[in-house]
Amino acid sequence: MGRIKGDAWVALILLAACAVFINDLQMTEDSGAFVKTTTLPMALAIALGILSSILLAWTIWLQIRRAADHETLPQSSERYAHLRVFLLVASIAIYITALPWFGFLISTAALIAGAAVLYGNRRLLQIVGAMVLIPVALLIFFEQYMIVLLPSARLFE
Amino acid sequence: MELLISSFQQVFILDTLALIAIGLIVGIVIGAIPGLNVPLAVAIALPITFKLDPIGGLAMLVGIYKGGTYGGSLSAVLINVPGTPAAAATALDGAALTRQGKAGKALKMSLYASIIGEIFSDIALIVFAVPVAIFALKVGPPETFSVGIFALTLVGVLSQGNILKGILAGVLGLFLSTFGVDPLTGDFRLTLGFQSLSGGWSFIAMVIGVFAVSEALVQVERRTIAKSATGPVRLSDPNHQLDRDDWKLCLPVIGRSSTIGVLIGAVPGLGAAVSAYLNYGITRNLSKRPEKFGLGAIEGVAAAESGNNAVTSATFVPLLTLGVPGDVITAIMLGAFVVHGLIPGPGLFEENPNFIAAFFLLMVVTTAFHLVIGRLGMPLFVQATRISNGLMFPAIVVLSVTGVFVATNNLFDVYAMLGFGVLGYFMIKLEFPVAPLLIGFILGPLVEIGLRQSMIMSRGSLDIFVTRPLSAAFLVIALLTVIVVGRREWREFYKKE
């Protein structure tokens, strides 16, 4: 039958999530007339579980039917593509965490440089220009015109 | 008369007019860059509009919507890469005209056809919104529930991808909307121990995550470098001018496509891409020279562009009158209405007639600005197809994070945005439609309140949904749609296998 395909993974993850949510809902205090606080979420979680089971069964059935079509391992270029996605997600997560510590200007400049390289931009002048212009323009726009404070560098205070 | 004066006072002020112009320019540029799309632009601009007055904020979003829907045609014509899904139909003949050295002809027809389509759509909104709202005032909670289910089913079933995935995405969206505080009793549910979840998932975090961050992830994976136009287009050359024969061929096509586009826009779940393809197909089938299509038929460009822009204002008919967004973009824009305390639905017409009148005027003024800015700026907008993704997407990632932070002032929501971005990325990769997820999330409270109020009215009996004719009709149409589309999909699958 080969490896489990993407849709089946989605169905399995959704089924696991449904189990967690149903458990959480069962422990929630209920109130309301006829349709209670947890009735609709519970019904939707069950519906999600049923739909995920159908998707899982359907994907496995399709896989068995098409067993003759041998699955090929991802090419190295595709593996690098997945790595780029992972690196971008990690960069954004680090950026969000760094914002309150290093402040908006420094964190943003660093993210722009990293992201530009991940997108294949190798023009140093363009990257440096973007590292300076984008954070400064956004800071001025939000703090001067929209009157919203962006995170300042707690680490240097 | 009083309404007219008040709406003029709201729209014809420098700030609003400037915001319309900015929205149009941003929309056209974003639409013209392959890889960027209109929902992404509207999502990123949404937090900025929270700080503006309601008409000013909506002016910018409407500008982006109308400009972006047209902007996709620029790259479709010049480099045969549609900037938006709807512009793919334009590329069929637009790119062929460019290869013949008639790019200007295609670009001009694309603009004028878009504008005529928008005029049809604006008129339809103004003419039909009020009667539909008067009718909608008579509906009660059971009908509200059924309309919500009907809209969600249509969006789920008719979106791209298969029916099972569409419905699954819609149910997931509905489920995500139930996190946090119960809208009727005030009790908490599904907070999973996080205090930040007591208000539920942030709408802005979801919108920006699913539409902007996910697109950034898809593009970093593909890392495609946009093709540049082969050379500068001199729009003043005779080859690039539209002549009388072109107009003779195109005017009837534009009229028909605009009418069909308006009807498609008013039905939740269909949208601009369906309208563009359908109108292109109808025009080719009815044409006296079908063999020219795909080889540079100017009426092909006119059909696709008038069809896709004719949906823009029409999608506001279900949003303003029933509170049901017709497509992803109006679903995102619903956030701008709600933040300003304007809850779309029949009540809005009763309580805020000044706003409704100003909004109608805003749509018309935006169309007029679109013509002027689109025509004067055409030589500059065509340059947008040369902007590299390596610069645009880092800026989009930063704007996404900043936008959510500015709107919510909460880092939990920014992390949630990243989570929704990853969810959106996998949905795109595995061909799950994203529109039902967002529309389910938005319709969740409407559906839940409708359901619970109906159950109180009927003292716990579900019969109320089928004994009231309008409610029953919506549910039957929803069920029929599932059966018809499901059967068609099954047949197609059976043929393929």
pLDDT at B255: 95
Q: Is the pLDDT of residue B90 over 70?
A: yes
Q: With 80 as the cut, is the pLDDT of residue B453 above it?
A: yes
Residue type for B418, please?
Answer: L
Lowest mean pLDDT, pick from B119-128, B142-151, B321-330: B321-330
Helix (H, G, I), strand (E, B) or coil at A37: coil
Count of domains forming chain B? 1
Share of chain B above pLDDT 90, in %: 34
Q: B189: which strand partners?
A: B180
Cβ pair A99:B405 closer than 8 A: yes
Any residues with CB less than 8 A from the CB of A6 and at least 6 apart, and which?
Answer: B426, B429, B430
The pLDDT value recorded for residue A56 is 93
Q: How far is A72 from chain B (nearest CA, A)?
A: 17
Residue of B57, B58, B64, B51 whose CA lies nearest to B24? B64
- Residue % of chain A over a pLDDT of 90: 53
Predicted pLDDT at A1: 47
> pLDDT at position B343, please?
87
Identify which of B434, B370, B372 has the alpha carbon closest to the alpha carbon of residue B69: B370
Q: Which of B174, B189, B220 sits opposite A25 (nearest CB)?
A: B189
B193 against B388, higher pLDDT: B193
Higher pLDDT, B114 or B438: B114
Name the residue with higher pLDDT: B173 or A63.
Answer: B173
pLDDT means per 10 residues, chain A with 157 residues, are 73 94 86 80 94 93 73 61 93 95 94 94 92 93 82 72
Specify the pLDDT at position A76. Answer: 56
- Indicate the DSSP class of residue A35: S
Q: Which domain holds residue B331?
A: 2-496
> How far apart are the CA of B98 and the nearest CA of chain A, in angstroms?
29
End-to-end Cα, chain B, rounded Å: 64
pLDDT at site B233: 61
Which chain A residues contact residue B464 at CB under 8 A?
none
The pTM of this model reads: 0.83
A31 contacts B189? CB cut-off 8 A:
no
Shortest CA distance to B442 belongs to which of B173, B141, B128?
B173
The reported pLDDT for the residue numbered B390 is 83
Q: Which amino acid makes up residue B474?
A: F
3-class DSSP assignment, residue B181: strand
Highest mean pLDDT among A92-106, B29-43, B209-223, B276-290: A92-106
Highest mean pLDDT out of B60-69, B403-412, B430-439: B60-69
Q: What is the mean pLDDT of chain B?
A: 87
For residues B398 and B281, give the distance between their C-alpha atoms in angstroms, rounded to a whole number: 40
For chain A, the C-alpha Rg in angstroms (whole number) is: 24
Does residue A110 contact residue A95 with C-beta atoms inside 8 Å?
yes
Pick the residue of A15, A96, A107, A154 with the most B CBs within 10 A to test the interface with B by mutation. Answer: A96
Q: Which residues of A touch B398 (CB under 8 A)?
A: 108, 111-112, 134-135, 138
Query: Is B313's pLDDT higher than 60?
Result: yes
Residues 6+ apart with CB under 8 A from B439: B151, B152, B155, B170, B173, B268, B325, B328, B331
Query: Distances from the Cα of B446 to the Cαs of A33, B265, B343, B347, in angstroms?
Result: 18, 21, 11, 14
- Amino acid making up residue A154: R
User: What is the pLDDT at residue A88?
Assistant: 96
Q: What is the mean pLDDT of residues B222-250?
A: 71
